[in-house]
Amino acid sequence: MKIVFFNCYHNGDLHVSREIVNKIVQKVHSLDPSTSFVYSHRNDPNLLSDIPHLGFDANALNAKRSDHDNLLRIGDTVYINTWYAQQNYKYMNQYGLTMDCLYAALDDTCKALWGFSLSDISTDMSSFFPSIDYSKYEIGLCQTWVSQHHEKKIFVANGLAKSGQAHNFNMTPLIIKLAQKHRNTTFILTNKEDDSVLPANVYYSSNLINKHGSSDLNENSFLSNYCDVIIGRSSGASTFAMTQDTLFRNDTKVLYFTNIVPTPPNKFWCDSIFRDKINFSANILCTNESDLGTIYNIIDTNIT
């Protein structure tokens, strides 16, 4: 049997589902080593290259009939959908854009295809949150850099959100102004959005990573683990900063300017399945604020 995990959408969709996929692959491989696995998507082919026994095949997406397909069988190949909205929003309508949505969808898939549940793999719900084997990526230069910088560091994912989950204001001028005020704090920007002259305490992550020709999102994630505050829009590099290390092992402060505002607070990515079963060590503040003056004050207050 060949298993094709597929997702027709963005980098963040792959990241949030990566550890659930990893656990499924390792479980099935241990039961039947003859089963092969690939992930088909339109993003960088190396985004998930740290997951053992999982290959990449961009062309496999061509076999699907719809973005909503799941458990589509063609010969000896089965297609597994990792998209939140799969099966005509069956899980998303109940759980929203949360880990619960992905967990429920892939749990039902495992039961239908192999007869086991995700709870048979692990009862520790925190273990299903994203985890990256950074040794498989180009972290050497930024590893040296963080070893030499022990000051307070702020990781800023200043790129624009692509899925309508946040206001797309220009964050860079606010960060430059804050950096001029907080000169003993280092700010790391993930996106070169303009030709602004940066203060000496502001760096572009791409210069610290110095990777060419492919995505550096996983390397950005590595950098974020060494930062005291993470700022973003719940999109792009700030999504990749949300890992088990950040969420459960560090006391990171996370500021998200997003319309995905959890109830109760600090239960980000959680609905009824996960809400009472995990506790973040990170302090996650989500706000849908759009006024630039208020946003500046929120950031200023939370990095002091």
pTM: 0.94
- Tell whether 89 and 204 lie within a shared domain: no
Q: Which of 81, 99, 128 is the last residue of a domain?
A: 128
What mean pLDDT value characterizes the chain? 94
pLDDT single digits (tens) 40-74: 999 999 999 999 999 999 999 888 889 999 999 99
- Tell whether 31 and 145 lie within a shared domain: no
Instruction: Place 195 in a pLDDT band, splitting at 50, 70 and 90.
Output: low
Distance, CA of 109 to CA of 71 (rounded, Å)? 7
The sign of the dihedral angle between the CA atoms of 116, 121, 122, 127 is negative
- Tell whether 153 and 172 lie within a shared domain: yes
- pLDDT at residue 213, as a whole number: 85
- Tell whether 165 and 100 lie within a shared domain: no
Strand pairing category for 229-232 and 153-156: parallel
- Tell whether 73 and 194 lie within a shared domain: no
**How many domains are contained in the chain?**
2
For the beta carbon of residue 174, count every other beta carbon within 10 angstroms. 19
Question: To which H or E segment does residue 95 belong?
Answer: helix 92-95
Residue in 277, 239, 249, 297 with CA at minimum distance from that of residue 119: 277
- Tell whether 298 and 222 lie within a shared domain: yes
Mean of pLDDT values over 168-177: 89
- pLDDT at residue 80, as a whole number: 98
- Tell whether 236 and 279 lie within a shared domain: yes
Q: Which of 104, 128, 152 is the last residue of a domain?
A: 128
What is the SS3 assignment for 256?
Answer: strand
CATH of the domain at 143: 3.40.50
- pLDDT at residue 63, as a whole number: 87
Q: Which of 79, 100, 128 is the last residue of a domain?
A: 128
Helices (H) and strands (E) in the chain, counts: 12, 11
- Tell whether 104 and 156 lie within a shared domain: no
- Tell whether 121 and 151 lie within a shared domain: no
Distance, CA of 160 to CA of 147 (rounded, Å)? 30
- Tell whether 157 and 207 lie within a shared domain: yes
Instruction: Place 166 in a pLDDT band, splitting at 50, 70 and 90.
Output: low
Mean of pLDDT values over 199-212: 95
- Tell whether 123 and 144 lie within a shared domain: no
pLDDT single digits (tens) 272-295: 999 999 999 999 999 999 899 999
Distance, CA of 276 to CA of 63 (rounded, Å)? 39
- Tell whether 152 and 250 lie within a shared domain: yes
Which CA distances in Å does 133 have to 130, 175, 213, 221?
10, 30, 20, 11
- For the record, the structure tokens of 135 come out as 């040794």
Mean of pLDDT values over 92-108: 97
Query: Are the CB atoms for 13 and 21 separated by under 8 Å?
Result: no
Domain of 112 in residue numbering reads as: 2-128
